Chain A
């Protein structure tokens, strides 16, 4: 299979990455080469094989429901691009 420049733009939109028409053209060629490489997977019959999501067969740990974190919001927000009154600033979302 191969993807078109429009496909590239659609995926870029999903991934929230701005992409120009020229970049979409270049990406299309490179992505198709990678998808050709990936296509080798399709030749293998995997009926009945259970998918492996993880290297270790372990279940999630649970811990006591107690507070383990101290309030460090000032430190964390100190490195944010825009903060006011302990709130992260972003462009207006709701009119």
Chain B
């Protein structure tokens, strides 16, 4: 059961082979036995999960079941969930019980999909290894000495370890795709604006986007059907006709042009990752696709641009954490300003403070044009590169991350080294394009390798089609860590 697809689990429920309550109970037991080793969840609350499962069962009994009614899912602890502790991986929100549901949570509730709990993450989604969480590092299920990636590290680890059938994640610079790659699962960051950000604790609002993390492209397509849709509570939510993201899964890939950006296969890419991605290209060629070389000449500027724009937006977004309305407040202070300063010094971890400082600096008087404005202009050039590339190809393919998982503690002392992990994922966020990662092999140490697809705006169905056809021809996505 733990390896079953969402479709299979949904069919078991539809045929009344078991109830959602029984299904959730089974998953909760597995979480209970594995979480002490992996630390993938921050909060598990069996009583709440089973109450939601009972609602799902009642809905089925009443004849109102939807396609995934009763199938449980784990939520990243960045989504406000009414009545649940919602920490965003931070001491600042260590006591925050959300008074309302994020739009994404509302949608899963409307689909009657019970929550198995809240998954661990880098503090305020700032990190690429899940080591910045105030609740401790998550272990990679393939080898507990290694990181699961981040920031949706708990989500990726729990799906890889089969502690949940699927999970939600968010991606600002690669936070769905990079951990999906490092844990050997499939994850998709949709086109910016498709999934509402309402109730999703903000990091960098012009880049943040939620998406599904699961065992296969097919599962991601089903979840995307639940997650997407217009929400008047998010001013950047797009008003578009509802799509069925499973509609093209079975289409053949004949005639598909796959763009390989030469910059993504250049210096800095681990040779085992390069070989696995090239083998995947060969596989797609067998399925009828044609590789074409493309260029994203400004992509090497993505990291510098991102580390101006994301901290700038973060420094503004995180100013709300002042110890007045919710969350942590320092126990001792002299006056109002001292209360702010001590609350923020004690409530935020070092990476979050670092980014707030960078953001405050680049937005401060005298530096705005040189940093913030210049970064926004370069963002335009990076986005234009994709427009140009999509004139000669239908989808862009490359590695998700420059290497496989690294050891816990290996990069914590050097922020710049850590930032370079998101070299290939950040450009899609800056342009607002959809990106996904899917497993395509293993390195010599037995750690998973991920390949990335970046599609044109609103081409999720096409990307899922490509990924699904690849997954029908290969079995990398069915591999799970042994001994768990």
B-contacting residues of A (Cβ < 8 Å)?
3, 7-8, 11-12, 14-19, 27, 30-31, 33-34, 36-42, 44, 46, 49-56, 58, 60-61, 63, 72, 75-76, 78-82, 88, 90-93
Contacts and interface: CB of A to CB of B under 8 A. Distances in A.
10 contacts: A15-B315, A15-B359, A17-B357, A27-B354, A37-B303, A49-B381, A53-B206, A55-B431, A81-B328, A90-B324
B376 A91 contact: no
B339 interface: yes
A16 B344 contact: yes
A56 B193 contact: yes
B304 A15 contact: no
Interface in B352-379: 353-354, 356-361, 364, 370-371, 373-379
A88 B325 contact: yes
B357 A31 contact: yes
Nearest to A36: B416
B316 to A, nearest CB: 10
Contacts of B376: 51-53
Interface on chain B toward A: helix, strand, loop, or mixed SS?
helix
Contacts of A19: 345
A53 B235 CA distance: 14
Nearest to B305: A41
A50 B344 contact: no
A76 B414 CA distance: 39
Contacts of B307: 34, 37-38
Interface residues of B, number: 71
Nearest to B413: A30
Interface stretch (B279-287, B330-338, B470-478): B330-338
Contact of A11 (B339, B342, B361): B361
B339 A76 contact: no
A75 B325 contact: no
Contacts of B193: 55-56, 58
A56 B236 contact: yes
A88 B326 CA distance: 10
A37 B329 contact: no
Interface of B: 95-97, 99, 192-193, 206-207, 232, 235-236, 238, 298, 300-301, 303-305, 307-308, 315, 319, 322-329, 333-342, 344-345, 348, 353-354, 356-361, 364, 370-371, 373-381, 383, 414-416, 419, 430-432
Nearest to B322: A16
A16 B416 contact: no
Contacts of A44: 298, 301, 374, 378, 381
Contacts of B353: 17, 27
Contacts, number: 163
Contacts of A34: 307, 354, 358, 415-416, 419
For the complex of A and B, list the 9 residue pairs with the smallest distance between their C-beta atoms, beginning with the closest: A55-B432, A51-B376, A81-B329, A18-B345, A46-B377, A52-B380, A55-B192, A18-B341, A49-B377
Contacts of A63: 232
B360 A52 contact: no
A13 B325 CA distance: 21
Contacts of B301: 40-41, 44
Given A31-B354, A41-B371, A52-B376, 16 more contacts: A8-B357, A14-B364, A16-B319, A16-B344, A18-B338, A27-B354, A31-B357, A34-B416, A39-B304, A41-B375, A44-B374, A56-B432, A72-B99, A78-B99, A81-B324, A88-B325
A34 B341 CA distance: 24
A38 B377 contact: no
Contacts of B419: 34, 37
A15 B356 contact: yes
Contacts of A33: 414-416
Contacts of A50: 377, 380
A8 B364 CA distance: 12
A8 B327 CA distance: 26
B364 A11 contact: yes
B387 to A, nearest CB: 12
B336 A91 contact: yes
A52 B298 CA distance: 15
Contacts of A79: 95-97, 99, 326
Contacts of B303: 37
Most buried by B among A17, A18, A81: A17
Contacts of A42: 370, 374
